[in-house]
Structure 1
């Protein structure tokens, strides 16, 4: 099976770095029926940064606003495919060959022989990366 690589909108937010803040936000999104394809959170200075890739961007923005969450829209690449040795190596090699620097990349085995990854490039390199990856 071929990897599916999509250029996606992702949304980032800065929130208070305190116990329960992520649960509050994720519960509010669930209450609005928002399906997330990707979510991560990590400390950023004295706050925390939350990154989301929703299935439906406009619905996510509306739900985020309702939850009091200010988000910024950016672009990333979502990768899904059959897990195999070197799956990520092939992707990063395509970008290296195209002269595209990766800003960040997270990948995980999803079980059932599948894997997923999210990667970010500089906004000025998005078009070049999409072409190199054959992203839809």
Structure 2
């Protein structure tokens, strides 16, 4: 598989750093059919956690936020990279950014156990457009475009 690099919007919210908070949010999103590309949780201070939500469909996430009072910060933009798991796979991506004098702010990568990897990559907001050009990033694949039109959400079917 060739390396594919996508622009991935994400949102943040905060929650108390206590057991069950992320579970409650994830359960709510699943109940309302909000599919996620990724999710992370990071401690940001005494008693508080930042939850980072990378939705497949931003409209559905915004709808849940409006209906439930969930306060979201965003959209922000990251890159979602996928490719074959090989030695040095991430080096090529970092070299391209380094050569363009673009700093990687945060990143997380995982091998999928099937010969591939996924990698979330963040740059400073002011560098995002340039990084997108340097990396040749595209929007989320077309099979995900208009996703909300292809699958009715279960709670809408009963209305």
Q: Same fold (TM over 0.5)?
A: yes
Asked which structure has the greater CA Rg, the reply is: 2
Q: State the distance in 2 between where 1:102 and 1:3 align.
A: 18
**Does the alignment pair 1:77 with 2:71?**
no
Q: How many residues align?
A: 136
Q: State the distance in 2 between where 1:102 and 1:53 align.
A: 18
Summarize the alignment of residues 72-111 of structure 1 with structure 2, pairs less than 5 Å apart: 72-73=73-74, 74-111=76-113
RMSD: 1.0
SS in 2 for 1:119: strand
1:133 Cα shift?
Answer: 0.5
Q: State the distance in 2 between where 1:28 and 1:67 align.
A: 9
Residue aligning to 2:146: none
1:66 Cα shift?
Answer: 3.2
Moved more, 118-127 or 58-67: 58-67
1:64 Cα shift?
Answer: 3.1
Bigger proportion of residues as strand: 1
1:110 Cα shift?
Answer: 1.2
Q: 2:132 aligns with which of 127, 130, 133?
A: 130
SS in 1 for 2:112: strand
SS in 2 for 1:79: strand
**Does the alignment pair 1:14 with 2:33?**
no
1:72 Cα shift?
Answer: 1.1
Q: State the distance in 2 between where 1:128 and 1:62 align.
A: 31
1:2 Cα shift?
Answer: 1.1
Q: State the distance in 2 between where 1:119 and 1:64 align.
A: 25
The answer to whether the 8 Å contact 1:25/1:67 transfers is: no
